[in-house]
Each structure stands twice: as C-alpha cells, then as structure tokens.
Amino acid sequence: MAEDPKTIMLVCAAGMSTSMLVRKMMDAAEQTKANVKIFAASAADAKDKLTAEHPDVLLLGPQVRYLEGDFKAALSIPVAVINMSDYGLMKGDRVLQTALDLMA
C-alpha cells in the first residue's frame, strides 16, 4: 500500500507568487517521484488552511518572514523561511528539497 503523501504548505502575503512556485515544486516532485502534496495560502488564510490540511511542513515566503516566530510557537511541525534567491528565481527543485530535508 502506498504511503500517504507528505503535505507541504507555502505561505506568502497574497498567495499569488507562491502559487507559481508550487507549480515549479510539483514539476520537480514529478521528476524525482517525491510523494508530496503542495499548496499555497495567503497569510490571511494560513490558520484556516493549517486546520483543514494538516501539513507536515510550513514554508514562508521571504515577504512574510516576520510570521516565522508565531508559527514556530504555535505549531509542532517544521517551519522555515524560503531562501530569498530560490524564491526570487522560482527554483522549485531547491525549495522542494528544503521541505523534504526539514521533514526527514
């Protein structure tokens, strides 16, 4: 029986730029056969999405890095800020690897 996919949640200010990054990460996951579910949420929707989706790791866009402490205090899953150059260059493979490393 296949293992359930690991869920990766990305949070940014409005959810727009991270939705592009999610697509790049999904492409990288397909190539490496990583069993993951990846989605993005805006900072305003983050709490509802956390409750509904129960992610295994939370990655924050650089523009909402100020939320890192709050999320780390409230959650028992790994929380990290996405590397600014990986985010800016939409390096889905690198961001995916960061998420996988955090869950290892």
The topology under which CATH files domain 6-103 is Rossmann fold (3.40.50)
DSSP lists the bridge partners of residue 36 as 6
Given a cut of 80, whether residue 15 has pLDDT beyond it is no
pLDDT digits (tens, 9 = 90+) for 54-90: 999 999 999 999 999 999 999 999 999 999 999 999 9
In the chain, domain spans: 6-103
The closest of 59, 39, 61, 69 to 102, measured between CA atoms, is 59
The pTM for the full model equals 0.94
| Cα 71 to chain centroid, rounded | 13
Catalytic (active site) residue 24? no
pLDDT of residue 16: 74
Catalytic residue among 8, 9, 11, 12: 12
Residue 96: which of 46, 17, 35, 53 has the closest Cα?
Answer: 35
